[in-house]
Amino acid sequence: MIFNYSAASRGLRTRDGPPGCPGSAPPSAGALAARTGCAGRQVAPGCAGCLIFSAAWESPPTFGFLLDIDGVLVRGHRVIPAALEAFRRLLDSQGQLRVPVVFVTNAGNILQHGKAQELSALLGFKVEPDQVILSHSPMKLFSQYHRRRMLVSGQGPLVENARALGFENVVTVDELRAAFPVLDMVDLQRRPKTTPLPPSDFPAIEGVLLLGEPVRWETSLQLIMDVLLSNGNPGTGLATAPYPHLPVLASNMDLLWMAEAKMPRFGHGTFLLCLETIYQKVTGKELRYEGLMGKPSILTYQYAEDLIRQQTERRGWVAPIQNLYAVGDNPMSDVYGANLFHQYLQMVKHDGAQELGAGGLWKQRPSATQSCTSILVCTGVYSPKVPVSTEPAQGGEEPPFHGHRDFRFSQELMEASHIVHDVDEAVQLVFHKEGWAL
């Protein structure tokens, strides 16, 4: 038996309950209130009766969360206390998520299952690897390059990450440097003492993967440039650099990110800025990306939407997900990305899928998603006490734009739909908007 709990239902409905449950017959609103002492509220926080009620009778969710990690759930290696509160609301009495949640981070120099384990330990519930979207995760979609010989830049478990994304034939910058030691000349201590012959059997490189910020930037910048200028044969010298150059796939364009330090740190976006500037200066042409992913790229949100859909299907929730809520601390990546995706959803609804902005698009299956709402928190990069770059600076100076070259400055896109203190307030806000019990 299923019936609407009330005309102004918060999305709760009742059906035959489990044995022993006080609600095995559908209760009236008044009876429920009397039973739980909720005094007119449908479900009271912390009330055991209400928890049983909400777990047993909650309607399938029609909304889901895209949660940023750094600055929203954690700062460095410390969990933000509000994140624990938020998950108390998001989990049911069985420790299961009440709504679909994916974690969307621009981090990249880590394995997906490693990040899931780290989050599980910090948040106190089991996070599955396929709930975690790293900045390079959408590279799985670029299967046309998976069999090509790709130079991979970054740090950490680089080769493992590239393989997990589907790339079968990768060469690291360190391996390239070992094969051609005369290429890396900035550090006097690392210059070769002799002049070895270049290998004659080194297969040509056919593309470049930029997974995250490397260490020894001068080495990576030099060798990536060598590969692009030589069409993948850095042992040879070409009179004219080929253009278009070899395909470049890049992820994580964050200029800065927030760790334990009081001031933001360099992100991979700073490395990309260096590479783009050097390429432009040397060749007079623009470095082009075959794919640019991580927030705020639409590609990342399409990928996240697909994982939300898969999670919903696995849980047996029959209602399609209509509203996505993206919670983040960075106006340029989290807010801009969510708003750009929302614009994209509106455009698709009216005109069908077309190219919009940079970063490429993935032809995905038709979706029921109607909206993507941006929610900015104040526990990370953004602080309400510091003027944000979207606001005109005093004295008429242009505010700095920290976004990537391929994403135009847009004050509208950098303005969050909601600004709240922390992720717990964000969850409360969304539950209220969706008519769900806290």
Q: Point out which residues bind Mg ion (CB under 5 A).
A: 68, 70-71, 329-330
Between 235 and 264, CB nearer to Mg ion: 264
Query: How does strand 63-67 pair with strand 323-328?
Result: parallel
**CB-based contact 155:127 (threshold 8 Å):** no
Residue 94: count other Cβ atoms within 10 Å of its Cβ.
7
Between 50 and 119, CB nearer to Mg ion: 119
Residue with tokens 């950490």: 156
Between 222 and 379, CB nearer to Mg ion: 379
Between 213 and 329, CB nearer to Mg ion: 329
CA distance 298 to 362: 9
Between 68 and 422, CB nearer to Mg ion: 68
Distance of closest approach, residue 330 Cβ to Mg ion, in angstroms: 5
Query: How does strand 248-251 pair with strand 256-257?
Result: unpaired
Distance of closest approach, residue 333 Cβ to Mg ion, in angstroms: 7
Between 305 and 334, CB nearer to Mg ion: 334
Between 131 and 222, CB nearer to Mg ion: 131
Distance of closest approach, residue 43 Cβ to Mg ion, in angstroms: 31
Distance of closest approach, residue 66 Cβ to Mg ion, in angstroms: 12
* Triad 171, 288, 399: Cα angle to 5°: 115
Distance of closest approach, residue 327 Cβ to Mg ion, in angstroms: 10
Query: How does strand 63-67 pair with strand 256-257?
Result: unpaired
Q: What's the distance, CA 64 to chain centroid?
A: 14
Look up residue 247 and give its amino acid. P
Residue number of the CB closest to Mg ion reads 71
CA–CA distances in Å: residue 36 to residues 6, 50, 139, 432, 438: 16, 7, 50, 20, 15
Distance of closest approach, residue 284 Cβ to Mg ion, in angstroms: 36
Distance of closest approach, residue 112 Cβ to Mg ion, in angstroms: 18
The separation between the first and the last C-alpha atoms of the chain, rounded to the nearest angstrom, is 25
Quick one: CA torsion of 256, 377, 301, 307, rounded to 10 degrees? 120
CA distance 132 to 104: 6
**CB-based contact 104:68 (threshold 8 Å):** yes
CA–CA distances in Å: residue 263 to residues 33, 105, 305: 50, 20, 32
Between 84 and 182, CB nearer to Mg ion: 84
Distance of closest approach, residue 254 Cβ to Mg ion, in angstroms: 8
Between 305 and 329, CB nearer to Mg ion: 329
Secondary structure of residue 190 in the 3-state scheme: helix
CA distance 41 to 146: 54
Distance of closest approach, residue 109 Cβ to Mg ion, in angstroms: 15
What is the DSSP secondary structure assignment for residue 372, as one 8-state letter? E
Give the H/E segment covering residue 375: strand 371-377
